[in-house]
Amino acid sequence: MSRLVYIVREAWANMRANRTTTIVAILTTAFTLACVGIFLLLYVNLRNAAGWLQEDVKIMVYLEDSVQAARRQALEKELKSDRMVFGVLFVSKEQALGEFRAQFPAETHLLEGLGENPLPASFVVTLAPNYRSPQSMKGWAERVQTMEGVAKVDYNQEWINVLAELIGYIELAAIGVGLLLSAASVTIIGNTIRLALSTRREEIEILRSVGATRTFIRIPYFLEGAVLGAFGSALSLGILKVGFELFRQQMQSAGRFSGIESLLSFFPFSLCIALVMAGMGLGLAGSVVSLLRVGEGRA
Amino acid sequence: MDAIIQVIHVSKWYDRRAALSDVTIEIEKGDFVLLMGPSGAGKSTLLRMLIGEEQPDEGQVFVHGKNVTKLKQSEIPYLRRKIGSVSQDFRLLSKKSVFDNVALPLVVQGVSEKDIRRKVTEALRAVGVDHKKDQSPNSLSAGEQQRVCIARAIVNGPVVLLADEPTGNLDPERTGEIIELFKLINARGTTVIVATHDPHVMKQINRRAVTLVQGVLMEEGRLAERVGV
């Protein structure tokens, strides 16, 4: 027990003795991790947005005008039994016309000139969540296109591909920036520990002379690094949260984004905890690097 | 009698200069040995070898049955727990109280709080500074600081006490008191080795004396016999 008390007390004393360095290390780590956090926040929100948008993606299976009722029913049955399909809704020619009129009342004269209803009957298909990737949609659409009675399969492939690509790029940027800035955090904390080691050289010598093991000497420095990392990470989350709320308020007051701001979300609590733990890990890594490079003295 | 320390044909060079040259000494359990010689004779090097802080270039060193030259890095702390060290510059931590300084060897071994309190109080009482336990070492006189240093060295009940110029910063009166303390510690069964070039110390101790000159063991004998006391 006395050993544990000593170790915690020493780590605390280290941080108090080098107060300025400790504060600078926490602040620098916080701002560094906040930069990583911005990318992570962007990534998380885009992933969410992609999820909602993909949920909303409907595939239109237009039918040939010549399709008989029996074939249409068979086709509907076939689509409904497809494991990739989540929902199927039949829209008759008349319903399509009604919808067109309801949505574009000013344009109805265009259709009247044609005499006969030119709009085809269709199935509005929603794919199951696991099959909403651009590749799956494309494969499914190509397969259905070949079915008897199907005139055309249509969905907005273009923007789905763009969105997937964008998310991919942000993911890469988040990983790259994350790695780079994490290395910076490790270096910053490592330097703080190195400074603590040099200011306490005499004490380390005394500890060695009275029979302290390397582990006993090192643990307070490991602890210090972990605490610095955890504090830095927690502070970075605070900075991000404030920035995030300000941004959301700004969007709300601008009023031009038709409620998008309400869809934006901050990191869930579990991810916040994971990020603090990651900060702790980075701090620990800084201490380890520092102690391995400088050591706490020979023998 | 059992030999607690054996230094066998030990040599050590620094930049081609011999700090120790083919030194062989055997010290029995419970002995009180004066290690004498001028500054730079190799006394501190020899003491550092006994606690594994230096390795000889040649020869072997045995302490309490362990071959120090063959010990792994991880085993050295455990050797040091059996050896108390006292130095000229006291090496006390000014940010810690006298009590906490003396408690350090026990804390690193994970001794319980209760035993730490008891052993530290006993050690401070033995050296006569128990009434200063809550003070900072900086507020003590040089003689008192050296007593605290001795208390830290004996708090563990070591088998050997090594003192490197322990009276270098003390006046003759305080020197006498410290020597008396060493004699008392030795009388309780601890092997004591005092390295010194202080004539006051030499006069006060009629014990086995080993002299080193430029790293070479010159003579051995009782100091009183040699100075004709």
pLDDT in tens, B193-202: 999 988 778 7
Chain A contact probe: residue of B72, B78, B104, B155 with most A CBs at under 10 A: B104
More confident residue, A277 or A32: A277
How many Å lie between the alpha carbon of A40 and the closest alpha carbon of chain B?
44
| Least confident stretch, A10-14, A224-228, B53-57 | A10-14
Which of A3, A206, A212 lies nearest to residue B91, judging by beta carbons?
A: A206
Three-state DSSP class for residue A83 = coil
More confident residue, B12 or A114: B12
pLDDT in tens, A54-110: 667 788 999 998 888 899 999 999 999 999 999 999 999 888 888 888 887 777 777
More confident residue, B79 or B40: B79
Chain A residues touching B107 at Cβ < 8 A: 2-3, 6
Structure confidence at residue B228 (pLDDT) = 45
Report whether pLDDT(A36) > 70: yes
Chain A residues touching B104 at Cβ < 8 A: 206-207, 210
Q: For residue B178, which of B156, B160, B151 has the smallest C-alpha distance?
A: B151
Q: Which pLDDT band, with edges at 50, 70 and 90, does B29 fall under?
A: very high
Structure confidence at residue A257 (pLDDT) = 62
Report whether pLDDT(A251) > 90: no
8 Å CB contact of B80 and A211: yes
What is the C-alpha separation between B11 and A244, in angstroms, rounded? 70
The residue whose two tokens read 């700004």 is: A250
How many contacts (CB atoms, under 8 Å) link A and B? Answer: 59
Chain B contact probe: residue of A209, A216, A217 with most B CBs at under 10 A: A209
8 Å CB contact of A2 and B110: yes
Q: Which pLDDT band, with edges at 50, 70 and 90, does B227 fall under?
A: very low
**Strands B32-36 and B191-196, bridge-based pairing:** parallel
pTM score of the predicted model: 0.70
Nearest residue of chain A to residue B71 (CA atoms): A299
Phi-psi group of B61: left, alpha or beta (phi > 0 → left; psi -120 to 50 → alpha; rest → beta):
beta
Which of B74, B80, B113 lies nearest to residue A2, judging by beta carbons?
A: B113
**Strands B191-196 and B208-213, bridge-based pairing:** unpaired
Report whether pLDDT(A15) > 70: yes
| Least confident stretch, A35-44, A266-275, B60-69 | A35-44
Structure confidence at residue B229 (pLDDT) = 40
Q: What letter does residue A131 receive in the DSSP assignment?
A: G
The residue whose two tokens read 């020493």 is: A10
8 Å CB contact of B80 and A208: yes
Is B91 in CB contact (< 8 Å) with chain A?
yes
What is the C-alpha separation between A15 and A192, in angstroms, rounded? 10
Structure confidence at residue A295 (pLDDT) = 59
Please check whether residue B189 is in contact with residue B163, taking contact to mean a CB–CB distance below 8 angstroms.
no
pLDDT in tens, B158-189: 999 999 999 888 888 888 888 999 999 999 99
pLDDT in tens, A158-194: 777 777 787 788 778 878 888 888 888 888 888 878 8
**Strands B66-67 and A85-91, bridge-based pairing:** unpaired
The residue whose two tokens read 């962007």 is: A42
Residue A14, class by beta-carbon neighbours within 10 Å (0-12 exposed, 13-18 middle, 19+ buried)?
A: buried
Which of A3, A206, A210 lies nearest to residue B110, judging by beta carbons?
A: A3
Q: What does the pLDDT average to over B33-52?
A: 92
Structure confidence at residue A299 (pLDDT) = 38
Average pLDDT over chain A reads 83
Q: Which tokens belong to B204? A: 């006060």
- Name, in order, each residue with C-beta under 8 angstroms of B123's C-beta and a sequence gap of 6 or more: B102, B151, B152, B154, B155
pLDDT in tens, A61-72: 999 988 888 999
Please write down the HEC assignment for all residues of chain B. CCEEEEEEEEEEEECCEEEEEEEEEEEECCCEEEEECCCCCCHHHHHHHHCCCCCCCEEEEEECCEEHHHCCHHHHHHHHCCEEEEECCCCCCCCCCHHHHHHHHHHCCCCCHHHHHHHHHHHHHHHCCHHHCCCCHHHCCHHHHHHHHHHHHHCCCCCEEEEECCCCCCCHHHHHHHHHHHHHHHHCCCEEEEEECCHHHHHHCCCEEEEEECCEEEEEEEHHHHHCC
**Would the CA dihedral through B122, B126, B132, B135 be positive or negative?**
negative
Nearest residue of chain A to residue B102 (CA atoms): A210
More confident residue, B40 or B228: B40
Report which residue type is found at B229. V
Q: What does the pLDDT average to over B206-212?
A: 88
Q: What does the pLDDT average to over A119-136?
A: 86
| Least confident stretch, A55-69, A140-154, B131-145 | A55-69
Structure confidence at residue B222 (pLDDT) = 55
8 Å CB contact of A210 and B51: no
Q: What does the pLDDT average to over B52-65?
A: 94
Q: Could you give the ipTM of this predicted complex?
A: 0.87
Which of A13, A203, A209 lies nearest to residue B80, judging by beta carbons?
A: A209
Is A202 in CB contact (< 8 Å) with chain B?
yes
Residue A224, class by beta-carbon neighbours within 10 Å (0-12 exposed, 13-18 middle, 19+ buried)?
A: buried
Please check whether residue B42 is in contact with residue B218, taking contact to mean a CB–CB distance below 8 angstroms.
no
Average pLDDT over chain B reads 90
Q: Which of residues 212-231 of A touch B (CB under 8 A)?
A: 212-214, 216
Q: Which of residues 7-66 of A touch B (CB under 8 A)?
A: 13
More confident residue, B119 or A289: B119
8 Å CB contact of A299 and B74: no
8 Å CB contact of A214 and B74: yes
Percentage with pLDDT > 70 across chain B: 95
Report whether pLDDT(A297) > 70: no
Cα–Cα–Cα angle for A112, A113, A114, nearest 5°?
Answer: 90
Structure confidence at residue A54 (pLDDT) = 67
Report whether pLDDT(A298) > 50: no
Length of chain A: 299
Chain A residues touching B91 at Cβ < 8 A: 202, 205-206, 209
Give B221-225's long-range contacts (Cβ < 8 A, gap of 24+).
B223/B34, B223/B36
